[in-house]
Every structure is written in structure tokens, then in C-alpha cells.
Amino acid sequence: MPKRVTLALLVLVAAQSPGLSAQDYRARAVAILKTVPLIDGHNDIPDAIRERGGLDSVDFAVAQPKLMTDIPKLRAGAVGGQFWAAYVPVTTMDSGPHPAVYALEQIDLIKLLCAKYPRDLAMAYSAADVERNFKAGRVSCLIGIEGGHAIENSLGALRMFAALGVRYMTLTHWRSLSWATASTDTARRGLSAFGRDVVHEMNRLGILVDLSHVNDGTMSDALHAAHAPVMFSHSSARALTHHSRDVPDSILRLVPANGGIVMVNFNPGFVSEEVRVYEDSIGPRTRALRAAGADSAAIGDSLTAWQARAPKATLPQVADHIDYIRRVIGVDHVGLGSDFDGITEVPVGLEDVSKFPDLIAELLRRGWSEPDVQKVAGLNALRVLRAAERVASEMRGARH
Ligand SMILES: [Zn+2]
């Protein structure tokens, strides 16, 4: 019997066997992740490594105390492909190295990191590369720039980032640009005319337009301007957790026609409404203590006591977001975008990259079929990459 059919039967049996243990579901998840590369949309270990080791010591080992990502954990988590964030701090817009230089250094760092572990990691610039690396037993390293300020308003810089192998660019980070508005901004405007030019050029180059971090107006404008599928590399569902970084239903409903993907973020404040409300309470609480005349030591003690009672997000809540997006727009448009090593708190049960199979196991436990699990794990991301490659070659053929 072909392996895939056997697996399908096993999963079917699993779905119908209430007596299966958690370990059984995890074993099924790991078996499925041998058939399809699990692709995560966003991991921030490059900047964590840079903070600790500088640019001369590019190695997972510098990430001490241990962070959420290293080679043994990637292997234990059956990760097949990782979009590493070439994150550019918004402060580079004011001082320090130019954003474009910072981005170049991050891309260099990602390539050095990948080259350091040739038995385990391999660069990938296309869907075909990911599949080839997966067959060879290596984790694909894909590059995503986090923050459109990296191009410094230059389409020439954008084209050169494409030439270096960048496969997505998040249009903004926490701060708005002249051409795109961030989710943290109260302004309602979206993309400017130049912003639409950037989206068009990204489509022509095969760089995915990443709408995590932008405001709803920019999400909508980009979805209407795009010729290729867009992605949300690390955002969850706002209907479940009312955070501006999450995607509202009105935008979710535009995604199927575009063919894009929403890759669910694990950030506790994005997946648990209780945690979001708690996090939002810290600022007002501090201000209230200060207004009541408390000194900084008293404020510190009070916040420590407050934090001891902080709610926790959980793995099933992350699965709830995945389930919700599937229910609203279909299983073809949902994926995983952990934000590991960019987040400081983690859901219980999803502490690091080794835990991905536990999340897949939870979906199986909820009765998900093998083909649906494969889509969320990686097939949807591969489809979006491939579609972007096709649109790019068509647009270049037509000399747009
Ligand atoms: Zn981010």
C-alpha cells in the first residue's frame, strides 16, 4: 500500500478513535510532517543572534540563555522550511545605520547562519528549492524583510533585495511609512500611490506582499492592488482576540479571491483575549499608581504582584485561531507564523520550535483530515510561493 494511503487510513482511524493518547496523535503528526514540509512564516532568531553575538559570531550557540530556536529543536519540531525575519528596527529611520544597510546585514547574517549548518539547513529561493531541500532532509532557509522602511523609498533597492533572494517583505513594522500605514497608527489612510507601485513591483519580482503589521486600510488597499497572492506572515484572527495586529473578518473575507494565506501568530496577546486585556491594563495601572503618589519601588512591587496573576495563553487557543480562519475562509488560506524568538511570552504547550507537532496533533485530535493538516502545515505556503513565482514571470513577460 502506498505510504500516503496508509497514512490516510491511520489518520482516519485516529480521528475515529477517542481512546488515542496524546502521544499517539503526536506520532501521527510527526508521520504527516515526513510527507510535507512544515513551513513557518516568521522567526526572529536572526536579530536575537545579532543582539547577542554581533555580526562576527553568527551561530545558534550565542543565543544564551537558550532561546526558542536551534538545530536540535528545529529537528524535533519536524520543521521543513523557515522564513527567517530580516528584521529592521524602526529606530534605524532616525539614527544608526541606514535601514537598507541594516537589512543587507540581516540578509548576510541569515545566509551565514544557514551556511554554518550545511547538514541541517539550506537556502531556498523558490517553492522548488523547498521541495528539493525537504527530500534531501534539510530545513529550508527563506528570507523575509520585516519593515518596508528597508527600501528607503527606492524601487531600485527593492529590486536588489529581490536579487539577493528575499521572498517576502512586511510593508511596515510598528511605525507608519509615507506610503503604508502601520496597525498601531490611528490614521485611517492605507497605501499611497507610491505604495501601490511598491506592491506592483513586488508582484513583478516575486516578493510576497506581507500584510502583518499594517492597518486595515493598507490591508484592503494592498489586497485590491495585488496581482499575486498576499500573505500575513504572523497574524491571528481579530474576531477571537481584539488586537490590531490580528486580521479582522472583513479583511479575511477578501483573502480567498486573492489566493493568499494567513499564518497564525503564537504571541499570547494575539491569541488569548484574556492576555490581551491583561497586557492592555499594565499601562493604565502604572499611570494610576503614579497618579496616586506611589514611588517607583512601590510601582515595581505592585506590578510584580500583578504579573504573578497574569493569565496564560494555551496551545488549544492557537488551534482555535486556525480552526476559526478555516471556518470563515477555508482551509486553503491558513498556515503557521509562530513569531518565535520575536515574542517574549509563549503559549503553554508551544514553548519553542520543537512543539510544532503538538499543534498538528491538536488539529488531528479535533478531527482534521490528513490533507487539511498538510495544507496548514506547508502546502498552502508552497502554493502561495509558487503562485507568486508564476505571476512574476507573467508580468515580466508582459513587460509591465
Ligand atoms: Zn513582527
Q: What is the pLDDT of residues 219-263, one digit of tens each?
A: 999 999 999 999 999 999 999 999 999 999 999 999 999 999 999
What CATH number corresponds to the domain at position 109? 3.20.20.140
Which residues, including other chains, have CB under 8 Å from residue 59's CB and lie 6 or more apart? 49, 53, 113, 116
Q: 210 and 349: one domain? A: yes
For 169-180, what is the mean pLDDT?
97
Span 348-355, average pLDDT: 98
What value does the mean pLDDT of the chain take?
Answer: 93
**Other CB atoms closer than 10 Å to residue 341's CB: what's the count?**
22
Cell of 265: 501568530
Q: What is the pLDDT of residues 58-96, one digit of tens each?
A: 888 887 667 899 999 999 999 999 999 999 999 888 888
Q: Residue 1: pLDDT band by 50, 70, 90 thresholds?
A: very low
Q: Is residue 82 part of a domain?
A: yes
Enclosing domain of residue 302: 273-311
Asked if 142 and 279 sit in the same domain, the reply is no
Q: Please tell me whether residues 285 and 350 are part of one structural domain.
A: no
Residues 187 and 307 in one domain: no
Same domain? For 211 and 305 the reply is no
Q: How far is the CA of 126 from the centre of ligand 1 (A)?
A: 22
Q: Which of 121-135, 295-309, 358-372 has the lowest mean pLDDT?
A: 295-309
Q: Do 217 and 89 belong to one domain?
A: yes
140 and 42 in one domain?
yes
Ligand 1 centroid vs 235 CA: distance in angstroms?
9
Q: Which residues are catalytic?
A: 42, 44, 146, 173, 213, 234, 339
What domain count does the chain have? 2
pLDDT band for 399, please (50, 70, 90 cuts): low
In percent, how much of the chain has pLDDT > 90?
A: 78
pTM value? 0.92
Residue 7 — very low, low, confident or very high, per pLDDT cuts 50/70/90? low
Name which of 325, 366, 321 is nearest 347 in CA terms.
321
Whether residues 278 and 138 share a domain: the answer is no
**Residue 219 and residue 293 share a domain:** no
In terms of pLDDT, which residue wins out, 326 or 20? 326
Q: State the distance from the centre of ligand 1 to the C-alpha of 233, rounded, in angstroms.
A: 8
Instruction: Tell me the DSSP string of 103-134.
Output: HHHHHHHHHHHHHH-TTTEEE-SSHHHHHHHH
- 27: in domain: no
Distance from the CA of 25 to the center of ligand 1, in angstroms? 31
Q: What is the Cα Rg of the chain in Å?
A: 21
User: Does residue 6 lie in a domain region?
Assistant: no
22 part of a folded domain:
no
pLDDT band, residue 400 (cuts 50/70/90): low
143 and 237 housed in the same domain: yes
Spacing, Cα 175 to ligand 1 middle (Å): 12
Ligand 1 centre and the CA of 212: distance in Å?
7
Expressed in angstroms and rounded, the spacing between residue 213 Cα and the centre of ligand 1 is 7
Pairwise CA distance, residues 308 & 349, whole Å: 19
Please return the burial class of 400, using the count of CB atoms within 10 Å of its CB with bins 0-12, 13-18 and 19+.
exposed
pLDDT score for 64 = 67
Check if the beta carbon of residue 37 is closer than 8 Å to that of residue 131: yes
Angle at 75 between CA 162 and CA 114, to 5 degrees: 30
